[in-house]
Amino acid sequence: MKQEITDSKTLVIPKDYKTTLGLIETQKAIKGLKDCFQTNLSKSLNLTRVSSPLFVLPETGINDNLNGEKAVSFDIPTLSKNAEVVQSLAKWKRFALKKYGFESGAGLYTDMNAIRKNEELDNLHSLYVDQWDWELVIEKSERNIEKLKEIVNKVFNVFKEVEEFAFVNYGIEKILPEEIHFMTTQELLDKYPELTPKERESAIIKEKQAVFLMKIGGQLSNGEIHDGRSPDYDDWDLNGDILFYNPVLDDVIELSSMGIRVDEEALDRQLKIRGCDDRRELDYHKMLMNGELPYTIGGGIGQSRICMYFLRKAHIGEVQVGIWPEEMVEECKRAGVNLL
């Protein structure tokens, strides 16, 4: 589908865009898709739903700094402490698996809500993050590419089941391929050496339609990294992103970031690479280095992005309520993009 770029540098309006569902129908469909996805995900990976925190104490080391972003924080006068809104639950989930006594082959999932105050607002990015965070206990011997691919294929089959649900209930055309394509960031660089990382993703996704891009965070042969990853949750050799082709925007949409989590050796190595040795004094990191936490695989799956993708929406604001620049609101209104 051809696109027209508006005066805003961050907004894409597809040519002749017309949403297939009205506002009320969209709200009903959001619930239907979310119910379908989480039900099938929990069955496929043997996950139990649990409650999770909206905020944590920074001294615990449980919060994530992502690529260096500063978390939203606030004072708690009654405790004389400062708390941070979670940026992800990657580390908290691993601690929870130990606390609740989950055995190997079983895990948890939860609703994660976060605020990304410094996010650049566009069709795919908002100030509000809503995703399913999940985590599964594995054996140390399963910390390998084969196990990673096995879980990725299970998650991809859940996407296929949701696509069938969207087709049956809302008449949305099915476009996912039968299988997801696996590729490393180094292989992607070798294939498109002249392109930027995001341009490489766009190029490969138009060819393969669904890709699990592996090994994100480590240095590539050109001395750069494909994308940033925190050094203390994913093992950079055993992680990746699930990327789909978005026909509405004619570009890539990332729906999940996941991976096998660091063990003692990977944590030690990656903290040194990123110059984050000060984190070794945090409670979480001490537990991990002492072998007190289970070996796990896990990730986050964007709830609004899933709804946006399967309902063929042009803007994430069509499936979640947010705050947007006034000029973006007006441009969307003129183009028939119904922001909630």
270 assigned to active site: no
Question: Taking the domains of the chain in order of start, what are their residue ranges?
Answer: 3-335
Q: Which residues of the chain have pLDDT under 50?
A: 1-8
Q: Domain 3-335 class?
A: alpha beta
- The 10s digit of each residue's pLDDT in 305-334 is 999 999 999 999 999 999 999 999 999 888
Cβ atoms of residues 49 and 110 within 8 Å:
yes
Active site residue 254: yes
pTM, full prediction:
0.90
Spatial separation of the C-alpha atoms in residues 147 and 162, rounded to whole Å: 23
Cα angle, residue 153 at apex, residues 51 and 97 outer, rounded to 5°: 30
64 in catalytic set: yes
- H/E run at residue 305: helix 303-310
Segment 252-298, tens digit of pLDDT: 999 999 999 999 999 999 999 999 898 888 888 899 999 999 999 99
* Residue carrying the six token digits 């299988």: 179
Of 38, 42, 64, 201, which residue is the catalytic one? 64
Q: What is the predicted pLDDT for the residue at 1?
A: 34
Active site residue: 257, 270, 303, 320, which one?
257
Residue 263 annotated as catalytic:
no
Which of 116, 143, 229, 261 is an active site residue?
116
Q: Is 251 a catalytic residue?
A: no
| Known catalytic residue at 131 | yes
